[in-house]
Chain A
């Protein structure tokens, strides 16, 4: 059983190793052919090295070097359109790449510079994982390197392509750092299933970096609803205020007089209840006469003020509590590999 596993592992490993060495071997042969001025053979080998499956054996710098040799080869093969196309591909792949002037003559580097100046594209570098605490005001940092100075618009967009937040809009020269705090234009955390960091070079290309944002924030409390009209007492008496006092007093006075027959029917009650009924009647009369319509009601104003103050205290308490809860929140942003979309609006 163990022997079978070892054999299987060797069978699987050998092609990968052979493939990797093949890409380097082909590159070595292509460079040798280029130096021997055998440009047709060099072009054939370079195209082979840049095409699958060998292309996966080259890293970004290896592919950039292969593209530079290929563009120079096409130039010397009198294929200027192919040379321009290859250099354009090189600029898109690695906007910061510059041909080695010890290897390539000035006519090649000048051609590359011309293509680079006319090809507006931005390389975007974003950390694979960014995690920060909400309270500490952390940011996702993206480093942008343009092929040539131009204006760019950096945004975080949803799956539908619509920007959720414009992070930067303006010129970019040598390089630019842009920061994003994880929030959309409304200040809420952008928690869509999939987001894109998009860098648009107007009229040319768009670079997209996939983002996944996970926000861990405790639930916040709802703010208390504002005081409604029914929560606030009238601060000036109306015509009914005095009548209500008088009516209430009359009702209570009648209740005092009728209480014995209600509680102890048939009993002959004493006259002490008349004292209370009289006091109630006088109180109601005073309330009626002292409260004509329009009279300020300071007691109601005080009650209203107390209710407003209590409501304000509740709002402040909820605000403080929510701020405290938000301080415990964390934002985790994962990024993927950049994708360049050619909008096809420029020519060298």
Chain B
């Protein structure tokens, strides 16, 4: 698992560098370390937590930015009743940067758990608004994102529902000689509610991101 992610991060970084240098496109590539806590409420309450690793990459041209994110890990039960799960998560977001501090984004988000009972998939389209603010010059910025799911699809048991979430974080651009590199710490939470079934899934993530940016 880890080897595959390392290769993916390296490939996205190599692809970003020449593209950005030639066309004025801003590209980023980053590695992710996530602390995930999930609480599933159906007939009973299941709590799992664990660590996942992944990568994200983005390409920005003028006011449009395309972001791709992928992570996977294993979540261990936090109590005696729950089972361990493998987590795979991926998202694509197309972002329109209306102003330097406000942007809108839309894109699919999928989360898959491998449980002893079989794979479980949660798919939704996120529509959100993000605000950015400079905290200490341009090198330290904070952001807040709120999104709402446009439909939710679950395979086990088959159904649909609603979902919403948000994220707050801080990003630090490192100074010279590490100038293209940046670090980010963010907290996110989302909750999915399956219609007609008393089932609710809440996932919290604490994400540490390390990446570099090329213009």
Whether A276 pairs with B170 at a CB distance below 8 angstroms is: yes
CB 8 Å contact bits of A234-278 with B (1 = contact, 0 = none): 000000000001001101100110011011100101101101110
Q: Which of B15-23, B102-110, B186-194 contacts A (4 or more CB under 8 A)?
A: B186-194
* Shortest beta-carbon distance from B162 to chain A in Å: 12
Partner of A283, one of B37, B136, B164: B136
Chain B residues within an 8 Å CB radius of A248: 133-135, 142
Q: A248-B135, A283-B142, A299-B137 are in contact. Are A263 and B164 (CB under 8 A)?
A: yes
Q: Tell me the dominant secondary structure on chain B's binding face.
A: strand
CB 8 Å contact bits of B106-142 with A (1 = contact, 0 = none): 0000000000000000000000000001111111101
Q: Does any Cβ of A come within 8 Å of B97's Cβ?
A: no
Partner of A270, one of B135, B172, B204: B204
Q: How far apart are the CA atoms of A286 and B172 in the complex, in Å? A: 12
Chain A interface residue number, banded: 20 to 34
Whether B185 pairs with A276 at a CB distance below 8 angstroms is: yes
Whether B168 pairs with A252 at a CB distance below 8 angstroms is: yes
Q: Does any Cβ of B come within 8 Å of A90's Cβ?
A: no
Whether B191 pairs with A263 at a CB distance below 8 angstroms is: yes
Q: Does any Cβ of A come within 8 Å of B39's Cβ?
A: yes
Chain A residues within an 8 Å CB radius of B139: 299
Q: How far apart are the CA atoms of A238 and B103 in the complex, in Å? A: 27
Whether A287 pairs with B186 at a CB distance below 8 angstroms is: no
Q: Tell me the dominant secondary structure on chain A's binding face.
A: helix
Q: Does any Cβ of A come within 8 Å of B166's Cβ?
A: yes
Whether B140 pairs with A287 at a CB distance below 8 angstroms is: yes
Chain A residues within an 8 Å CB radius of B35: 272
Q: How far apart are the CA atoms of A280 and B169 in the complex, in Å? A: 8
Q: Does any Cβ of B come within 8 Å of A57's Cβ?
A: no
Q: A264-B191, A269-B189 are in contact. Are A297 and B137 (CB under 8 A)?
A: yes
* Shortest beta-carbon distance from A46 to chain B in Å: 85
Whether B166 pairs with A284 at a CB distance below 8 angstroms is: no
Chain B residues within an 8 Å CB radius of A192: none
Whether B202 pairs with A264 at a CB distance below 8 angstroms is: yes
Q: Does any Cβ of A come within 8 Å of B154's Cβ?
A: no
Whether A272 pairs with B204 at a CB distance below 8 angstroms is: yes
Whether A263 pairs with B189 at a CB distance below 8 angstroms is: yes
Whether A263 pairs with B165 at a CB distance below 8 angstroms is: yes
Q: A264-B191, A283-B170 are in contact. Are A252 and B185 (CB under 8 A)?
A: no
Chain A residues within 8 Å of B, Cβ to Cβ? 245, 248-249, 251-252, 255-256, 259-260, 262-264, 267, 269-270, 272-273, 275-277, 279-280, 283-284, 286-287, 290-291, 297, 299
- Further pairs besides A272-B204, A291-B137: 9, Cβ < 8 Å: A245-B135, A256-B168, A264-B191, A273-B204, A276-B170, A283-B136, A286-B135, A287-B140, A290-B137
